[in-house]
Structure 1
Amino acid sequence: MGYRLLAEAAMLVHFAFLGYVVAGGFLAWRWPAAVWPHAAAACYGLGIIAIGWECPLTHVEQWARLRAGRQGLPEGFVDHYLTGVVYPEAYLEETRIAAAAVVLSSWAGAALLARRRRRRRPAEGGRGAPASEGVKDA
């Protein structure tokens, strides 16, 4: 029972990680520093696709499924749970391109918002209220 729960937990973390890779860049719209951990996750995801890096979550799920007496995944996580289920297998490349477009759009939006914030700071006198506020003419 414990191995089965571990396999299912690994599957859920895997789905969460994929969601973060695709849409996590939008967190940087609110919290600019969030772009850096998202960039690391997106680069790792790109490495899995482009270079063929192994995903440790897939290994954990595979290991736990086998220890639980269940059948292992016949292919990788994405191939098993998403391809042919969420999107047709024939649209794998289009799905990857769409995911990359979402990531790049989130980063472009974060960059525009960061630029806008930088422009406002000098006009505000650094932090807080503008320098002229609260100062009366003598």
Structure 2
Amino acid sequence: MWYRLVADFIAIVHLLFIGYVVAGGYLAWRFPRTVWAHGAAVAWGFGTISVGYDCPLTYAENWARQRAGVAGLPSEGFIDHYLTGVIYPENMLTEVQVLAAAAVLVSWVGLWWRARRPQGPAARVAG
């Protein structure tokens, strides 16, 4: 029972991490210092897709599932098990990856644009 809860918790953390990879750049609009953490998360996410890095969260979830006596994730991993075919059709994986990359790019361009804008009371009066 305990290990099953651990596996479920890790799956939730994994899903939140993927959400942060896609949308964390928008969080940096409000909290600009988080852009460095977001950059690292995006680099890791890109590496898992393009280079094939193994995700430690997948290993941790599989470990907890096996201890709970439940089958581990398939070799394709977390995204294929929980998201592909559930949130989007299986044949749309490339399109979803492109949309996720576009969301990251738009958030970073927006962050750059916001950083260039004059700040403070003088900017509000002049604008």
Tell me how far 1:115 sits from its aligned partner: 0.6
Matched, 1:10 2:3: no
Matched, 1:93 2:94: yes
Alignment of 1:123-138 (within 5 A): 124=122
Matched, 1:28 2:28: yes
Q: What per-residue deviation string (whole Å, max 9, x for no partner) do you get for residues 63-93 of structure 1? A: 1001100111123000000011111111000
- Give the TM-score of the pair, scaled to structure 1: 0.84
Q: Which has the higher helix share?
A: 2
Amino acid at match of 1:30: R
- Give the TM-score of the pair, scaled to structure 2: 0.91
Q: Which residues of structure 1 form unaligned runs of 5+?
A: 125-138
Supply the distance in 2 between the matched residues of 1:42 and 1:120 (Cα, whole angstroms): 28
Q: Which residues of structure 2 form unaligned runs of 5+?
A: 123-127
- RMSD over aligned Cα, in angstroms? 1.5
Q: How many residues align?
A: 122
The structure with the largest alpha-carbon Rg is 1
Amino acid at match of 2:82: Y
**Which portions of structure 1, spanning 4 or more consecutive aligned residues, are displaced by more than 2 angstroms?**
none
Supply the distance in 1 between the matched residues of 2:39 and 2:86 (Cα, whole angstroms): 27
Supply the distance in 2 between the matched residues of 1:120 and 1:15 (Cα, whole angstroms): 35
